[in-house]
């Protein structure tokens, strides 16, 4: 058994050829069990090596825990496979999340696990507005499952790992960081998907529908898009959005939404202003408003910060999405905003968003 290395600081004084005396600091390493000295390392090099080792262990640990729950998805068409991508099993009874643009309107799919097991699946629901689809796999054997996490806890700089099947290469793992939060991304229907996560974890065709995972092994996003020609600009639909869509698809087979006509992003509210206006520490800032929409008719404007709907706090875009559910369609609603440092209430009546 090898003994652990011992590092000792030392200072050596030596006589230079010009007659002067010089000293030099270094780190000494005690001999290993085989009697040979290892290469001397500075303290900085030792610390850097330990950090890299911890990073590697974190990424490897995530891949080991979540990788078995990632599947290859092949959508069935009348003339063979219609589209391929990735998916993640999120319940022991076989529910699988993937992208709407992977499903492409198909009604059934073939899934392949990391161990090569093939499963037949049917499409429970498809929501192009968020680029999410829900499948159900018919499996008699126990399936590996990944856990949906809370994307609201993410911060820029957090480590994330993407797992999927890019370009047909099964169970590929890439790592990066959260580059930004609260991005908006236009879906195939033309609607903006709010609360999107931007990451530099490399994604390629085939990664679509696979999980974006934090260092604890929780799924915090569903990988959805890259900007072609750009380096390290990739996007994932936040897990909190996915949780809402998942519940709607299980209950109704589709997502009914109340529509007010705004695109927004989560922003922090200065503590003094939040205290004075009696709001949470964050809200949903309006980026744009659709013409003739309920929000436009009520008088809302870009840069207004939504902080409550019918008195219930809005701490970000995911709260806004959840509050605008089917129960608010055609029901007069009070929307509270921050504008110019003051809290102002508006009344509007959400309509039902048209099906994609």
Q: Which of 151, 208, 239, 336 is catalytic?
A: 208
Helical H runs in 264-312? 271-277, 294-298
Using DSSP bridges, classify how beta strands 211-214 and 159-164 pair: parallel, antiparallel or unpaired.
antiparallel
Q: Which of 131, 218, 304, 319 is catalytic?
A: 131
List residues bridging with 334 in a β-sheet: 347
Catalytic (active site) residue 208: yes
Q: Which of 101, 129, 179, 319 is catalytic?
A: 101
The CA-atom distances, in angstroms, between 286 and each of 87, 130, 190, 304, 316 are 32, 18, 18, 6, 11
The CA-atom distances, in angstroms, between 266 and each of 109, 194, 196, 286, 292 are 35, 9, 10, 9, 24
Question: By three-state DSSP, how is residue 57 classified?
Answer: helix
**Which residues neighbour 53 within 8 Å (Cβ) at sequence distance 6 or greater?**
none
Phi and psi torsions of 276, nearest 5°:
-70, -35
Catalytic (active site) residue 101: yes
Find the helix or strand (DSSP H, E) in which 243 lies: helix 239-252
Residue 172 gets the label, from left (phi > 0), alpha (psi -120 to 50) or beta, of beta
Catalytic (active site) residue 252: no
**Which residues neighbour 156 within 8 Å (Cβ) at sequence distance 6 or greater?**
177, 178, 179, 180, 181
Interior/surface letters 84-120, b for 16+ CB within 10 angstroms, e for the rest: bbbbbbbbeebbbbbbbbbbbebeebbbebbeeeebe
Q: Indicate which residues carry an active-site annotation.
A: 101, 131, 208
């Amino acid at each position: 058994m090898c003994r652990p290395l011992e590092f000792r600081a030392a200072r050596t004084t030596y006589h230079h050829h010009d007659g002067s005396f010089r000293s030099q600091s270094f780190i000494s390493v005690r001999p290993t069990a085989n009697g040979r000295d290892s290469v001397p390392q500075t303290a900085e090099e030792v610390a850097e090596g330990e950090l890299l080792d911890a990073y590697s262990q974190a990424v490897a640990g995530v891949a080991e825990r979540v990788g078995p729950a990632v599947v290859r998805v092949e959508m069935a068409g009348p003339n063979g496979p219609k589209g391929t991508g990735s998916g993640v099993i999120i319940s022991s009874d076989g529910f699988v999340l993937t992208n709407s643009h992977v499903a492409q309107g198909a009604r059934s799919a073939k899934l392949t696990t990391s161990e090569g097991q093939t499963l037949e699946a049917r499409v429970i629901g498809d929501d192009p507005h968020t680029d999410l689809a829900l499948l159900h796999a018919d499996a008699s054997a126990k399936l590996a499952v990944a856990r949906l996490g809370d994307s609201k806890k993410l911060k820029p700089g957090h480590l994330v790992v993407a797992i999927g099947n890019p370009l047909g290469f099964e169970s590929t793992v890439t790592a990066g960081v959260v580059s930004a939060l609260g991005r908006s991304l236009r879906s195939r229907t033309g609607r903006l998907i709010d609360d999107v996560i931007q990451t530099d974890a490399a994604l390629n065709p085939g990664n679509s529908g696979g999980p974006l995972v934090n260092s604890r092994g929780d799924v915090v996003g569903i990988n959805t898009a890259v900007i072609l020609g750009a380096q390290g600009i990739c996007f994932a639909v936040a897990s909190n959005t996915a949780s809402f869509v998942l519940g709607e698809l299980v209950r109704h087979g589709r997502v009914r939404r109340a529509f007010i006509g705004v695109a927004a992003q989560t922003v922090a509210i200065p503590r003094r202003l939040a205290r004075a206006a009696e709001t949470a520490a964050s809200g949903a800032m309006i980026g744009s408003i659709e013409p003739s929409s309920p929000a436009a008719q009520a008088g809302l404007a870009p840069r207004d910060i939504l902080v409550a709907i019918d008195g219930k706090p809005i701490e970000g875009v995911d709260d806004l999405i959840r509050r605008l559910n089917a129960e608010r369609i055609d029901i007069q609603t009070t929307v509270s905003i921050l504008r110019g440092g003051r809290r102002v209430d508006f009344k509007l009546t959400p309509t039902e968003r048209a099906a994609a």
